[in-house]
Amino acid sequence: MTLPRFLQIHTLHNYPAALLNRDDAGLAKRLPYGDKVRTRISSQCLKRHWRVADDAFALSRLDVPMAVRSRETPRLIRDKLVAAGVAEPLAQLAVEGLRAAGLVDKAKDLKGKDALETGQAVLLGYAEIDYLVQRCAALAAEHGEEKALKAAIAGFLKEEKKNIEAMRLGSGLESALFGRMVTSDVLASRDAAVYVAHAFTVHEAQVENDYFTVVDDLLQEAGETGSAGIFDTELASGLYYGYVVVDVPQLVANLEGVAIKDWSNATPEQRALAGRVVQHLLHLVATVSPGAKRGSTAPFAWAKFMLVEAGDWQPRSLAGAFQNALPSSQPTLRKAAVQRLADEIAQMDAAYGAPLARRYLAVDDVQVPGAEQLPLTALAEWAQAAVMRAEA
């Protein structure tokens, strides 16, 4: 097949009695779609768990600089300066200078504790943080007076803005995958290379209010009745359809600094990291679950079905297969869901004739038009090869 511009990943995960993603009232997130209201898992929730997962295919095992998303990053920079031998008052002034110069936002004249916390979480790569610490430590050694130090930091940031922007993977692997939006005068925004849809149940929402009590061990031993507390929470069950798109040109550009217009001419060596990232990502999408109420629901599930499509056409979701919800009483719900997807693919192929190469994983005995069934390891390696070379 030709070198694909996009990889599309479709999944089905099923979870019983879980609260995977909550809204501001602590209830399961919902989505009205088609003829029924469904429960859903937000894309932010999914990306967060894939980003921080710690297993054999964790993103952190790719030997690529990672990032931290926090409101407390200025405090981290100050603490690193102190650890590097800068006196705490000077370290504080350095952070105030960074904030005044527009490092992460437009904030001006922040002092003390106010300078150590941003108004919203900001994603900074550890490489960027270490570089800022190194330069600020050197400037602090030269300038011991407040105005002089802050002026030196402002000058350094202005002069080296292009160098900071040009640091390959300086903003971390996370921003290379999922993007970074900043209002900074210094840091560069980055377009996402991985697009993630909200997952939703293929059937009507199945939600129950769970009433429970907390037993007081000491009261029980004293022979008293009652409990230490009475509570309730919402639990949901369902079979969720998930959809992820990997923009291969953007991924190669973000990882290697290759211009998007030249991505197809990138060497296999320049596409190698992108291929490994895709291999890891497929494992994470298949096996990593959201973790809300993990201690009381153990919401761990692997994909019961995963379809990967590679091609040059613009992506298209298969969510339309479930615009009319499947009956939750369907005796073979998973097979019925895969059949809906297969029918949607057949109809889309007939209408558009889009040439897509397909491979799929399934735990049930199902068929997908024009696709070969593979186990997860082989499926991930196929996707990796598709990104790295045309003859995959």
**What confidence tier does 392 reach under pLDDT thresholds 50, 70, 90?**
very low
**What confidence tier does 223 reach under pLDDT thresholds 50, 70, 90?**
low
User: Which tokens sit at 255?
Assistant: 């990882």
**3-state class (DSSP) for residue 332:** coil
354-378 pLDDT per residue, tens: 789 999 999 999 999 889 999 999 9
* Predicted local confidence at residue 102, as pLDDT: 85
Higher model confidence: residue 211 or residue 383?
Answer: 383
**What confidence tier does 120 reach under pLDDT thresholds 50, 70, 90?**
confident
User: Which tokens sit at 197?
Assistant: 């849809």
The rounded distance, in Å, linking the Cα atoms of 191 and 379 is 27
Give the chain's end-to-end CA distance (angstroms, integer).
7
152-180 pLDDT per residue, tens: 999 988 887 777 766 666 788 999 999 99
What are the start-end ranges of the H helices in the chain?
43-52, 73-83, 88-100, 126-142, 146-159, 161-166, 173-178, 217-221, 248-256, 268-287, 294-297, 333-352, 376-388
> pLDDT above 70 covers what percent of the chain?
95
> Which residue, among 240, 236, 244, 243, has the nearest Cα to 200 in the 3D structure?
240
Q: Phi/psi zone of residue 223: left (φ > 0), alpha (ψ -120 to 50 degrees), beta?
A: left
Whether the per-residue pLDDT at 390 is higher than 60: the answer is no
Outline where DSSP puts E strands in 266-328. 305-311
In one letter, which amino acid is 23?
D
- Cβ distance 280 to 63 under 8 Å? no
The rounded distance, in Å, linking the Cα atoms of 21 and 44 is 10
The rounded distance, in Å, linking the Cα atoms of 199 and 178 is 17
Give the mean model confidence (pLDDT) for residues 74-84: 96
* Neighbour tally for 19: CB within 10 Å: 24
Distance of CA 177 to the CA centre of its chain: 8
User: Which tokens sit at 256?
Assistant: 């290697």
Strand 357-362 relative to strand 371-373, pairing = parallel
Q: How many helices (H) and strands (E) does the chain have?
A: 13, 12
